[in-house]
Amino acid sequence: MEPQAPFTSSDDARTARPLRHLKSYELSAPLSLERGGELPEVTVAYETYGQLNAARDNAILICHALSGDSHVAAHDADDDPGWWDLVVGPGKAIDTDRYFVVCPNVLGGCRGTTGPNFPNPATGKPYGADFPLITVGDIVETQKQLVDHLGIDRLHAVIGGSLGGHMTLTWARRFPERVDNAVALATCARLNSQSLAFDVVGRNAILLDPNYRGGQYYQHDERPSVGLAIARMLGHITYLSREAMTDKFDPDRHSPRRLQTAFETHFSVGSYLAYQSDRFVERFDANSYLTLTMAMDLFDLGATTDAIAASLAPSTCRWLVLSFSSDWLFPPAESRAIVDALIALRRSVSYCEIQTKAGHDAFLLEDELDLYGEMIRAFLDVSPHDEIEHAAEPDSPSIFNHRVDYDSIVDLLEPDASVLDLGCGNGELLARLRARGHDPVQGIELSQRAVRSCLQRGLDVVRRDINDGLAPFADQQFDYVILSHTIQAMTNVQGLLRDMLRVGRRCIVSFPNIAFRKLREQLHHEGRAPRSSALTGPNWYETSSIRFLSLLDFEDYCRDQNIDIIDRVALDTEQNLRVDNDPNLNADVVVLVIAAH
Amino acid sequence: MEPQAPFTSSDDARTARPLRHLKSYELSAPLSLERGGELPEVTVAYETYGQLNAARDNAILICHALSGDSHVAAHDADDDPGWWDLVVGPGKAIDTDRYFVVCPNVLGGCRGTTGPNFPNPATGKPYGADFPLITVGDIVETQKQLVDHLGIDRLHAVIGGSLGGHMTLTWARRFPERVDNAVALATCARLNSQSLAFDVVGRNAILLDPNYRGGQYYQHDERPSVGLAIARMLGHITYLSREAMTDKFDPDRHSPRRLQTAFETHFSVGSYLAYQSDRFVERFDANSYLTLTMAMDLFDLGATTDAIAASLAPSTCRWLVLSFSSDWLFPPAESRAIVDALIALRRSVSYCEIQTKAGHDAFLLEDELDLYGEMIRAFLDVSPHDEIEHAAEPDSPSIFNHRVDYDSIVDLLEPDASVLDLGCGNGELLARLRARGHDPVQGIELSQRAVRSCLQRGLDVVRRDINDGLAPFADQQFDYVILSHTIQAMTNVQGLLRDMLRVGRRCIVSFPNIAFRKLREQLHHEGRAPRSSALTGPNWYETSSIRFLSLLDFEDYCRDQNIDIIDRVALDTEQNLRVDNDPNLNADVVVLVIAAH
A576 burial via Cβ count (<10 Å: 0-12, 13-18, 19+): exposed
Question: CB contact, 8 Å: A456 with chain B?
Answer: no
Q: Which of A380-389, B194-203, B301-310 has the lowest mean pLDDT?
A: A380-389
Give the pLDDT band of residue B392 (cuts 50, 70, 90).
very low
pLDDT at residue number A385: 56
Whether ipTM exceeds 0.90: yes
Q: What is the largest CA-CA distance in chain B?
A: 96
Q: Distance from first CA to last CA of chain A, Å, rounded?
A: 75
Q: Distance from first CA to last CA of chain B, Å, rounded?
A: 75
Q: Which of B226, B267, B542 sits opposite A208 (nearest CB)?
A: B226
Plot region of B589 (φ>0 → left; ψ -120 to 50 → alpha; else → beta): beta
B295-321 b/e (C-beta count within 10 Å ≥ 16 → b):
bbbbbbbbbebebbbbbbeebebbbbb
Instruction: Enumerate residues 487 to 506 of chain A having a beta carbon within 8 A of any beta carbon in chain B.
Output: 493-494
How far does B475 lie from chain A, in Å, by closest CA?
Answer: 24
CATH class name, domain B11-216+285-298: alpha beta
pLDDT at residue number A326: 98
Give the pLDDT band of residue B16 (cuts 50, 70, 90).
low
A533 burial via Cβ count (<10 Å: 0-12, 13-18, 19+): middle
pLDDT at residue number B13: 47
Q: Which of B254, B273, B553 sits opposite A200 (nearest CB)?
A: B273
* B388-596 carries CATH number 1.10.10.60: no
Q: What ranges do the domains of chain B cover?
A: 11-216+285-298, 388-596
pLDDT at residue number A534: 56
pLDDT per position as a tens digit, B258-297:
889 999 999 999 999 999 999 999 999 999 999 999 999 9
Segment A337-363 mean pLDDT: 97
- Is B237 within 8 Å of A197 (Cβ atoms)? yes
Question: CB contact, 8 Å: A13 with chain B?
Answer: no
Partners of B253 on chain A (C-beta within 8 Å) are: 193, 196
**Cα separations (Å) of A112 from A45, B260, B476?**
5, 38, 69
Question: CB contact, 8 Å: B547 with chain A?
Answer: yes
Would you call A515 and B528 a contact, using CB atoms and an 8 Å cutoff? yes
Segment A265-288 mean pLDDT: 96
Question: Which one, of A136, A130, A111, A141, lies nearest residue A24 by Cα?
Answer: A111
Question: CB contact, 8 Å: B214 with chain A?
Answer: no
Give the pLDDT band of residue A437 (cuts 50, 70, 90).
very high
Partners of A264 on chain B (C-beta within 8 Å) are: 200, 203-204, 207
Would you call B204 and A230 a contact, using CB atoms and an 8 Å cutoff? yes
Q: Which of B494, B526, B549 sits opposite A529 (nearest CB)?
A: B549
Would you call B515 and A527 a contact, using CB atoms and an 8 Å cutoff? yes
CA nearest to A302 within chain B:
B250
Give the pLDDT band of residue B547 (cuts 50, 70, 90).
confident
Question: Which one, of A189, A443, A176, A441, lies nearest residue A317 by Cα?
Answer: A176
Task: For residue A506, give the 3-state DSSP assignment.
Answer: strand
How far does A303 lie from chain B, in Å, by closest CA?
Answer: 8
CA nearest to B586 within chain A:
A527
pLDDT per position as a tens digit, A547-572:
889 999 999 999 999 999 999 999 99
- A&B contacts, CB < 8 Å: 226
The mean of the pLDDT values for chain B is 92
Would you call A540 and B548 a contact, using CB atoms and an 8 Å cutoff? yes
pTM attached to this predicted model:
0.94
The mean of the pLDDT values for chain A is 92
Question: Which one, of A242, A68, A291, lies nearest residue A161 by Cα?
Answer: A68
Task: For residue A449, give the 3-state DSSP assignment.
Answer: helix
CATH class name, domain A387-596: alpha beta
CA nearest to B525 within chain A:
A520
Q: Is B11 a catalytic residue?
A: no
Whether A539 has a pLDDT exceeding 80, the answer reads no
Segment B26-49 mean pLDDT: 97
CATH class name, domain A10-215+291-298: alpha beta
Question: CB contact, 8 Å: A307 with chain B?
Answer: no
Interface test with A, best of B301, B519, B540 (most A CBs within 10 A): B540
Segment A499-513 mean pLDDT: 97
Question: CB contact, 8 Å: B129 with chain A?
Answer: no
Give the number of other CB atoms < 10 A from CB of residue A247. Answer: 13
Segment A420-448 mean pLDDT: 96
Give the percent of chain A with pLDDT over 70: 93
Would you call A200 and B253 a contact, using CB atoms and an 8 Å cutoff? no
Q: Which of B269, B331, B514 sits opposite A200 (nearest CB)?
A: B269
Would you call A264 and B207 a contact, using CB atoms and an 8 Å cutoff? yes
Whether A531 has a pLDDT exceeding 80, the answer reads no
Question: Which one, of B155, B186, B8, lies nearest residue B86 by Cα?
Answer: B8
How far does A47 lie from chain B, in Å, by closest CA?
Answer: 35
Would you call A246 and B493 a contact, using CB atoms and an 8 Å cutoff? no
Partners of B133 on chain A (C-beta within 8 Å) are: none
pLDDT per position as a tens digit, B80-139:
999 999 999 999 999 999 999 999 999 999 999 999 999 999 999 999 999 999 999 999
Would you call B585 and A519 a contact, using CB atoms and an 8 Å cutoff? no
| Helix%, strand%, coil% for chain A, nearest 5 | 35, 20, 45
Segment A37-50 mean pLDDT: 98
DSSP B427: S
Question: Which one, of A467, A416, A473, A412, lies nearest residue A439 by Cα?
Answer: A416
Consecutive H or E run containing A592:
strand A589-596
Catalytic residue among B278, B327, B405, B572: B327
Would the CATH topology of A10-215+291-298 be identical to that of A387-596?
Answer: yes
CA nearest to A250 within chain B:
B193
Q: Which of A252-261, A551-560, B132-141, B429-438 has the lowest mean pLDDT?
A: A252-261
pLDDT per position as a tens digit, B319-376:
999 999 999 999 999 999 999 999 999 999 999 999 999 999 999 999 999 999 999 9
Segment B471-495 mean pLDDT: 94
Q: At what angle do helices B193-207 and B286-298 cross, to 10 degrees?
A: 150
Whether B394 has a pLDDT exceeding 90, the answer reads no
Could you check whether the bond before residue A440 is cis, i.e. omega within 30 degrees of 0? yes
Tell me the β-bridge partners of A483: A422, A509
Give the pLDDT band of residue B535 (cuts 50, 70, 90).
low
Segment A473-487 mean pLDDT: 96
How far does B227 lie from chain A, in Å, by closest CA?
Answer: 8
Catalytic residue among B9, B10, B67, B162: B162
Is the model more confident about A577 or about B95? B95
Task: For residue A88, give the 3-state DSSP assignment.
Answer: strand
Question: CB contact, 8 Å: B427 with chain A?
Answer: no
How far does B93 lie from chain A, in Å, by closest CA?
Answer: 32
Segment B144-151 mean pLDDT: 98
Supply angle C-alpha A522, A525, A528, rounded to 5: 45
pLDDT at residue number B10: 40
Question: CB contact, 8 Å: A446 with chain B?
Answer: no
Give the pLDDT band of residue A5 (cuts 50, 70, 90).
very low
